[in-house]
Structure 1
């Protein structure tokens, strides 16, 4: 039977005592475990970004809200404009035009006019009713008509007394403020307003003027009266600018509430200059007022072009006449939009669409197309770019 050899015994000699340093040394010789790098700097960066996001994002939202308010309602900043401090009496003593004798101006014009008790007639409805005429076709080339039913421009005719005035059918309406109601009463009874015979307001809101379409001779006389006013054109332009400023002050609440009578009146007053020019435009080939020709039915479709400054578009069912008169009217509008310092909000709203429709039939060079660059209806191209850019930057700060 095999017997294993005995285990070797340690050699002779004294035993070596154990020292703590020996254990530490052997531990140092062993491979050390691998640990992940410290996470503290990364956490600090994330914290900083979150704090920046908390500051930037609310600021961006506020900026977007403010820019949206400006784009949708720029009139909110009208409070920065200078207010007019003129009084009614300041405009009461203009020197009359030499075509007519001096008329005595009766004292102050602060008294309230007698108000008709007739039913309220909407301005837009009144104008549209006056335009209920048949559309006539014409040649596509802008050549003047060889025959006309319109009389020539009269020579110093006898004008009706009193001369037709705006709001003659009814001045009563629900106003938001007493100051606005008083303004309309005072304005329509002041000589600086009445003597200017504003074609824009007559065509918009005078039932006597609109009814004269059935009597071409009478209409011819009335148009002559709007072109030859006791107060010259430049003084009337100053008067109307003053009335527009006062209306915005006295009727601020009504404008804010969108009162139709007030907003349309402001549009018509602002269009005084350009509409006086087109009303007094004469067809050189016939010697007749272009407007009277349109009323007489020779170029009846042209009648709608006189509504553009009032914010009323040409009906889509109307065939353009392509007449030389209408072409001259469009050119006056284009010049006014490009050069006028007056706010032509109604014309800005309707002109481009009218040009596009007319040029489709009459040729691309018939009416001048322009780029809208001002007014309440044109939006600033960079109105959204700034807040959107800031929003993108804020998002990038959070993601990084």
Structure 2
């Protein structure tokens, strides 16, 4: 449309309608991006799903706390901690073969038995008028005597043997020692040890050292005198397990008190802190010791009463008899209070093998 302005004709502007430049394809792409973004945000907002995890390990209490062990670790610990069966002796067989020789089977030999007085003899021995020391020679002579070796006295092993101390650490080895000690004839060995104790204290042998209190000589003498009661208790067996009572006592690391009783015949009193196990073995042992007190020359006559009192304090007033049996003197009748024939026979039969 034209208009007139100051006499001139002015042409009015015209507007043209243009088509939009964005295509539908671009719009669809944008919408698709928005949808994807919205779905991703929604997925992130979903709470996580809880998964139940089963722990198949086994709980084990250790050092005051709990640890979790796998089945393999648990079996390994059981194998390491499983105690050896004390009644089973295992023999290992080793096949030895060479290029020219067929395989053979070798059985492992038993360990050598401990030797008495193997700690060595000290030089603290007296000399005779000629300047010689006869005592060590006499000790070495009876240690090599076949009869002494045959008797294999437990009493002397208790008094001085390093190898015996090592043997006590194993149930198998201490059982072998007790088998050897219980094998000989007790009556013969008791007589042999009695004669040996008399020869030991002769002046030409170890009498001077005995009088001066030489520990090796006095301990050896005490062990010779106490051969019989220690032979008897050393050969006692637990009726429930058929195992040696001494072997049970010496391998019981949780309560070593019962071992102390085997030193009573050697004139060694019980420690005041002794808390024994009130077992059948202890009761049998104390019964043997009480019977042995009939011979007042036995050191057990000096130590039995107080030991029996300690036992009854722990195990009950009637667990063992605290009274020494009436003294018996061979060839002189009965000493002490009169006894009926029946009462006299009980201790007599118990100690007769030791007095003959």
TM-score interval (norm. to shorter) = 0.5 to 0.7
Q: CA deviation at 1:180?
A: 1.9
After TM superposition, which residue ranges in structure 1, 4 or more long, deviate above 3 angstroms? Answer: 148-154, 157-161, 371-375
* Higher mean C-alpha deviation, range 298-307 or range 259-268: 298-307
Looking at structure 2, the residues matched to 251 and 199 of structure 1 have their Cα atoms a distance apart, in angstroms, of 22
Higher helix residue share: 1
Q: Aligned to 1:313, which of 260, 269, 278? A: 269
Partner SS for 2:201:
helix
Partner secondary structure for residue 288 of structure 1: coil
Task: Find the counterpart in structure 1 of residue 180 from structure 2.
Answer: 225
Q: Distance in 1 between matches of 2:235 and 2:242?
A: 12
The answer to whether the Cα contact below 8 Å between 2:290 and 2:324 also exists between their aligned partners in 1 is no
Q: Distance in 2 between matches of 1:150 and 1:357?
A: 33
CA distance in 1: counterparts of 2:116 and 2:301, whole angstroms:
23
Q: RMSD across aligned C-alpha pairs, in angstroms?
A: 2.7
Paired residues for 1:1-400 under 5 Å? 151-152=86-87, 160-161=111-112, 163-177=113-127, 178-229=133-184, 232-249=185-202, 250-297=205-252, 300-338=256-294, 340=295, 343-345=297-299, 347-371=300-324
Distance 1:374 1:251 in 2: 30
The C-alpha deviation readout for 1:242-293, integer Å capped at 9, x for no partner, is: 1111011122211221111111111111111110110110111111110011
Q: How has the CA–CA distance of structure 1 residues 306 and 199 changed in structure 2, closer, same or farther, with 3 Å as cutoff?
A: same
Q: 1:328 to 1:194 in 2, by over 3 A?
A: same
- Structure 1 contact 150–293 (Cα < 8 Å) conserved: no
User: Which position in structure 2 is the counterpart of 1:8?
Assistant: none
Residues in 1 aligned to 2:247 and 2:135: alpha-carbon distance in whole angstroms: 34
Q: Distance in 2 between matches of 1:311 and 1:150?
A: 35
In the alignment, structure 2 segments of 5+ residues that lack a partner are: 1-82, 90-107, 128-132, 329-335, 337-356
Choose between structure 1 and 2 for higher RCO, CA contacts under 8 A separated by at least 6 residues.
1
Change (3 A) 1:188 1:150: farther
Return the offset for 1:213: 2.0
- Check whether the contact 2:255–2:276 (CA below 8 A) recurs between aligned residues: no
TM-score normalised to structure 1 length: 0.51
Deviations 1:94-126 (A, max 9, x none): xxxxxxxxxxxxxxxxxxxxxxxxxxxxxxxxx
Counterparts of 1:217 and 1:277, CA distance in 2: 20
- Please state whether the residue corresponding to 1:287 is helix, strand or coil: coil
Which sections of structure 1, spanning at least 5 residues, go unmatched?
Answer: 1-147, 376-380, 382-400
Q: CA deviation at 1:308?
A: 0.6
1:150/1:283 Cα in 2 relative to 1: closer, same or farther (>3 Å)? farther
Rounded Cα–Cα distance in structure 2 between residues aligned with 1:172 and 1:314? 28
User: If each structure's strand is expressed as a fraction of its own residues, which one has the higher value?
Assistant: 2
Structure-2 change in CA distance of 1:160 and 1:236 (3 Å) = farther
Cα pair 2:116 2:156 within 8 Å, conserved: yes
Report the TM-score, using the length of structure 2 for normalisation.
Answer: 0.57
SS in 2 for 1:214: coil
After TM superposition, the structure 1 stretch with the greater mean CA deviation from structure 2, 363-372 or 250-259, is 363-372
Aligned length: 221
Q: Find the structure with the greater CA-based Rg.
A: 2
Q: CA deviation at 1:181?
A: 2.1
My pick for the range that moved more, 306-315 or 164-173, is 164-173
